[in-house]
Structure formats: C-alpha cells, structure tokens
Amino acid sequence: MIDKKTHRLIRKEIYIVGILFFGLFIAMIVYFCNYVNNGSKEFIYNAYNSRFSVFSDDVVRGNIYTADGKVIAKTAYDSEDNEVRVYPDERLFCHAVGYVGQGMAGLEAQYSFDLLKSNITLEDQINNNLAGQKSPGDSLYTTFDYDTQLAAFDGLGMFDGAVIAIEPDTGRIVAMVSKPDYDPNTIAKYWDDITDSTKNKSSLLNRATSGAYPPGSTFKIVTTLAYLRANNGDDTFSYSCNGKFEIDDYTIHCSGNKKHGSEDLLKAFSNSCNSAYAYMGLELDRNAFIGTSEDLLFNTTLPTLLDTTKKSSFKIDDKTKDSIVAQTAIGQGSTTVSPLHMCMIVSAIANDGVLMEPYLADKLISADGQLVSQTEPVEYGQLLTKEESQLLQSYMAAVVEEGTAEKVNFGEGLTVYGKTGTAEYTEDKSVTHSWFVGYAVDDNGNKLAVAVIMEGAGYGSKYAAPLAAKVFEAYFQ
C-alpha cells in the first residue's frame, strides 16, 4: 500500500510530465502555424519535390508582367493542348524572371507558390472546379521598366557582363541584365549544352547579383570615405603625381602613365589617380579601412529580397604586404564585388546615406483584378552620414563635369554623378573590365542609380559610361 507521501510525489511527477507534454504540444502548434505561414512555400513548391505537379492540377500558373504592364512570362498551350510556359521576349529578362521547365529559377521559383494560387472569388473557383476547368492563378507585377531593360540589354551587346539599375529612394530594380544569357523557352531542350562548362561561360549565372569582379577604380569611393573618416570629415589632401607609385619593388601606374601633377582629394578622385590612391591607402589604419568597407556591406550578406546574391570580399590585415594594400586601395588586389553591391552603395550615396533594400516583385494581382499583396519599400539603414554622402556626391559630380567621364554625353536635363573604373583581372594588364557606377537626377528630383560592367571591354569612360547614359535616357525619357 502506497503511503500519502509517496502518493503526493507520484501525483507531482505526473503533473510535471503533463505540463511538459502540454508545453511540447503548444510548441508544435506554434511551429506548425509558423511553417504554414512561412516555410511551406519553400518545401511545397521546391522544384525537386516530386509532388509539386499536384499543386498545378487546379490552377493555371499566373502571368509575370513588367511594371508598365508588358507580359514577360505566361502559360500557353501546345498543339496537344498541354500547358507550356512562354517567355515572349526570350532572353531579355531571363536571369531575373528565370524559367520553368528544367526545374525552376529566378522569380518563377521564388514566387511559384503565389503564381499557383488563385484569389478569384470562392464561387468562381467552385464553378470552375465543377466544370472541370482550372482557375487562373494570380499574376506577379515586377518593378521592371521595359524600355530601360531593353536599353541595358541592347547596350551590353555582345559583351559579357551585367547592368543593374535601382531607384535609390525605393529600392525598386528597374533593370537587370546579365550576359552570356539563354532562352528560357528552350531551356529543357538545350539543358545539356547550357550546363556543359566546356561549351559556354556560365550562362545560367546572374552576373548582376552573383558576379564577383575586381571593382577597379569604382572602389575609390570606399577608399575616399575611409580617408574622410580617418580625418574627421576634413578632405584636405595633397599629392604630386608623376604617373606612377612604387612600393616593395612593385609599381602602380596611372592610366596611360599620365602625370596628373599636384592634386587635392577632389582632383585625385575625378582624375581617378592610381598613384594618389595607392599612397592614400598606405596612410590609412588597416582596421579602420576594413571597418569602412564593412559599413558599406563588404564581407556581409547583402540586405535584399532577391533570392541569389554573392558576398563581396575585402581582406587586408597587419600582415598584408604594403604593395597589396596599395593595390587594394585602387580596387585591385583580392577585392571582389558584384554589380548589385556597387549599385547599392551608389544608391545610398544618392539617398543621403540611407540604403533601401533592392527588390524585384512589386505586387500580386488576382485574375479578376484584386490586389492580393503589395511589396512596400524597406529602409535597411544609414550606411554613411548625410554629410559624407554630400561630399561624395560632389566628388562624383566632378568625375562627370571635369574628370574621367567628362566626354560622355549623358543627355540634356539630367545631373549625373559617377565613377568610372578599369579593372585588371589577368596577368595581361592590357585586358581590363570596363566599369561605371553612378546615378542621375532629373529636373523633378527623380533619381536612378546604375552599375555597369563590361567584361574585357577596356576603359570605363569609353564603354561602360556611355552604356549607363543609354540606360538613363531610356528611364527618364
């Protein structure tokens, strides 16, 4: 017979066990609700889920549109009445919109859950079901401006590389082009060739978001900011350029071996003087230099709603040779950056230091015209102060007015701020990538930031900057 003390202990243990099981039950409910709201998309609509096709049995996949209403992805029917995904502009939006056919990629993958949902009235859905018909899925409206995208695509021409354009005050991406490219209409048919590394140059890679390039002289924006911070905002600087800078038996040459003579900071920046910036980089505290680069999101996962981005890399320390630090200060060395990242930095400068998170998907609309959801601009934070931004703005204006981009025709009615770049990427220093990063403002205060890289093209002022001008023209016209 159990005494009262033992009985109380047993009841207490049963009570504790009951509480534990109840707590676990509540935790499971919370997890399940969170999974349904947030995690189910990634699992249910994963291209590798063998049950994926079940979810398209009742809904016709919705269309994808540009912001100005042009269809860039739709569902059609072949001669045997089978559903096929069609991309009317073929290669124009391939890396951003992606494809359905050999798995999925791009917005097609990221928003597959939404495109295969139908938010027409329940009555209409029931009537469609009783009639043996599928209901139309919701449509996705992107942030793309068709003409701006076309200008970027055509301007890049036969060059590999990337162009990305972002509205600084919202984060809306209005253009995103990467080459080499592919035709999403025939992705399944030519899959083996497209993925054969011996036959192509990674045409599936979105170089705009995932390319890792030496930034060249566009990185002088970062070095300039580090110098300003090291001197408490004082831009007093003096250097006499004789066309080259020697350190550790290594020689850094100015472009074309040009001797810039006596320069202050503004002149060094607008002339893109390698010698002055190599000297400047060696004067900086290395930890502070790293800190400034990381404030501008180097070595950091970029804050964006895009599903594929690559971290930019900036690495120096106390053991790094002076010659490498000097190269790093002019955007060479081991530093790498994506066009997206450079465009985000420029966007923040244009927006008085505040970075808005870049995004591509604007809204979802049901087939009967009802707004399902809307993406609201998200402020990431202050990357640099308003005063720092305004000073860098004046330097970037000088590049266009009297510096390396002064001969570029940016058109009438625009004020343009920029930085050219010519980046070495092989031992043959005569072969270089062409960079331009910058932004334009029209008479009404509207702004657009752009980053352009053209692989192996040559001087940024000769190739990338004129392409940026075409993008500005298409957007602001």
The answer to whether position 335 is within a domain reads yes
Determine whether 382 is exposed, middle or buried from the number of CB atoms within 10 Å of its CB (0-12, 13-18, 19+): middle
103 lies in some domain = no
Report the alpha-carbon distance of residue 422 to residue 284 in Å, rounded: 23
Is residue 175 a contact partner of residue 202, using CB atoms and an 8 Å limit? Answer: no
Please give the Cα distance from 95 to 107 (Å, whole number): 9
Q: Where are the alpha helices (DSSP H) in 371-434?
A: 386-402
User: What's residue 345's pLDDT?
Assistant: 97
How many residues in the chain? 477
> What tens digit of pLDDT does each residue of 386-443 get?
999 999 999 999 999 999 998 888 888 899 999 999 887 766 666 788 899 999 999 9
Look at residue 51 in the predicted model and tell me its pLDDT: 47
Residues of the chain short of pLDDT 70, as ranges, are: 1-10, 12-13, 15, 17-18, 27-55, 199-200, 426-430
- Listing DSSP states for 161-207 in one string gives EEEEEE-TTT-BEEEEEEES---GGGTTTTHHHHT-TTTSS-TTS-H
Alpha-carbon distance of 139 to 365, in angstroms, equals: 5
Q: Domain residues for 418?
A: 210-359+379-476
Residue 388 located in a structural domain: yes
Give the span between the Cα atoms of 471 and 449, in whole angstroms.
Answer: 10
Asked if residue 305 lies in contact with residue 184, where contact means CB atoms within 8 angstroms, the answer is no
Span between the terminal Cα atoms of the chain, in Å? 94
DSSP code string of 105-137: EHHHHHTHHHHT---S-HHHHHHHHHTT-PEEP
Instruction: Kindly report the number of other CB atoms within 10 A of residue 156's CB atom.
Output: 25
Assess if residue 157 is contained within a domain.
no
Note whether residue 288 is domain-resident: yes
User: Does 223 fall in a domain?
Assistant: yes
At how many degrees (to 10) do helices 274-283 and 220-230 cross?
40
CB contact at 8 A, 327 and 318: no
The Cα-based distances of 239 to 77, 217, 236 in angstroms read: 67, 18, 10
The pLDDT score that the predictor gives to residue 46 is 54
Q: Answer left, alpha or beta for residue 161, where phi above 0 means left and psi between -120 and 50 means alpha.
A: left
Do the Cβ atoms of 184 and 98 come closer than 8 Å? yes
- Residue 466 belongs to a domain with what CATH number? 3.40.710.10
Is residue 49 in some structural domain? no
In a domain, 153, yes or no: no
Q: Which residues, at least 6 apart from 471, have a Cβ–Cβ distance to it below 8 Å?
A: 148, 151, 152, 155, 163, 165, 175, 448, 450, 452
Structure tokens at 394: 């004046």
pLDDT at residue 57 in the model? 77
Mind listing the pLDDT tens digit for each residue in 137-159?
999 999 999 999 999 999 999 99
Which tokens is 161 given?
């590389």
Q: How many CB atoms lie within 10 A of CB 101?
A: 18
| Identity of the residue numbered 362 | D
Tally of domains in the chain = 1
Grouping H, G, I as helix, E, B as strand and the rest as coil, residue 301 is: coil
Q: Residue 418 is which amino acid? A: G
**Residue 194 confidence (pLDDT):** 86
Q: What is the pLDDT of residue 184?
A: 94
